[in-house]
Structure 1
Amino acid sequence: MEIVFVRHGVPDYRLSDERKMTQLEKDYAPITRECIPFIKSQSQLPAFSGADIIISSPYTRALQTAEIINRKHRLELFVEHDLREWVADLSGGFIELAERDRRWKEYRDALKSGKSINNTAYETADSLQSRVISVLERYRDFKKVVIVAHFNVLESLLGYQERGIGCGEYRIFNVEEFT
């Protein structure tokens, strides 16, 4: 299976920040209006031609990005809960930004070194990879799939990425590379 992986457009957190919303509420933030023309132009590229379906994270920024791409291609759109972001706190509670950033750094350092960390308060790389692969298994019969999700979902499939992927950018790879 060929995958065209798209990182969601640039999120617009202005309203959620002004209203001091929780992280869950911030997940409803749309993409910036300035980002929309870039997503539209990306959707015109040959990389998206011939795709069978489009699969999206349930977060608004991903769904909106998928919808913009899909205006051109008119594919069946599936929303998959397990293509969501990395979970910074398994207890579901509130954590300060500094602690979240510390956990993210620890997570990324472990991913880069290839070491597994057990008994963490956050989702491990193995756990994230497992949930993402379980989603892909359901679509194995398709030849070409567009996935719109988050940087950490991409890393769960390809491993540590020294150079990230910008909002609205895409990478193409085959599913055989990681299964």
Structure 2
Amino acid sequence: MKVVFVRHGKTDYSLADARQMSQLEKDYAPLQRACIPAIQSLAHHPSIQQADIILSSPYTRALQTAEILNRQLQKELFVEHDLREWQADVKGSYIPLSERDRRWLEYRELFANGNEVTNAGYESATALYRRVTSVLDTYQDYNTIAVIAHFNVIESLVGYREQGIEYGEVIEVDYQPNL
């Protein structure tokens, strides 16, 4: 099965930042309006056009990206909870942004070196990989699926990317379901 990952468009956090919202509240922030034409143009990407369906993370930035593509492509769109962003706190508790950033940097360093800590309080690379593949495995009857998701979700399957993954970047993966 071919998986066509698309990282969501760039998020507009201005209102959330002005209101000093928590990270959880920031997950509701929309796309920056200026990035919308670039997202619209992705509908012309041959791999995305070949997709049988579109899957999306439940976060606003991914959902809005998926909806923009879906409006042009007219594919079935499914929202998958487990395509959500990497969890900075596995208990779902509030943690200060400074602690979230510390955990993120630690996670990235460990992931880059092929290591992980399973009791660090944040989601391990293995746990994220399993969460993502469990979603993909349920769509094994499709030839090509487009997945609108987040940097860490994509990286969990394609491996560490020192330069990251750009907003709106398309990455194709030949995926073998684990069933």
TM-score between the two structures when normalised by the length of structure 2:
0.95
Mapping of residues 77-88 of structure 1, within 5 Å:
77-88=77-88
Residue 72 of structure 1 deviates from its aligned partner by: 1.7
Give yes or no for contact 1:55–1:79 (8 Å, CA) kept in 2. Answer: yes
Shift, 1:93, TM fit? 2.1
Amino acid at match of 1:153: V
In the other structure, the counterpart of 2:109 is: 109
Q: CA deviation at 1:49?
A: 2.0
Q: Could you tell me which residue of structure 2 aligns to residue 15 of structure 1?
A: 15
User: Residues 24-75 of structure 1: CA distance to partner in whole angstroms, max 9, x if unpaired?
Assistant: 1111111010000000112112221221000000000000000111122100
**Aligned match of 2:147:** 147
C-alpha distance in 2 between matches for 1:116 and 1:86: 14
In 1: Cα distance, 2:122 partner to 2:171 partner: 27
The answer as to whether partners of 1:44 and 1:72 remain within 8 angstroms in 2 is no
For 2:92 and 2:54, the matched residues in 1 are separated by 29
Deviates more, 1:71-80 or 1:89-98: 89-98
Q: Secondary structure at the match of 1:4?
A: strand
In 2, Cα distance between equivalents of 1:155 and 1:72: 27
Mark the runs of 5 or more structure 2 residues left unpaired by the alignment. none
The 5 Å alignment of 1:152-171 reads: 152-171=152-171
- Quick one: distance in 1 between partners of 2:32 and 2:69? 15
Aligned length: 178
CA drift of 1:92 comes to 2.1
Alpha-carbon separation, structure 2, partners of 1:133 and 1:58:
16
Q: Any conservation in 1 of the 2:107–2:116 contact (CA below 8 Å)?
A: no
SS at match of 2:12: coil
Whole-angstrom CA distance in 1 between matches of 2:76 and 2:171: 21
What amino acid does structure 2 have at the position aligned with 1:115? Answer: N
Shift of 1:116: 2.6
Question: Counterpart of 1:73?
Answer: 73
Identity of matched residues, %: 56
Aligned to 1:126, the other structure's residue is in SS state helix
After TM superposition, list the pairs within 5 Å mapping 1:47-62 onto structure 2.
47-62=47-62
Paired residue secondary structure (1:146): strand
Letter in 2 for 1:69: L
- What letter corresponds to residue 68 of structure 2 in structure 1? I
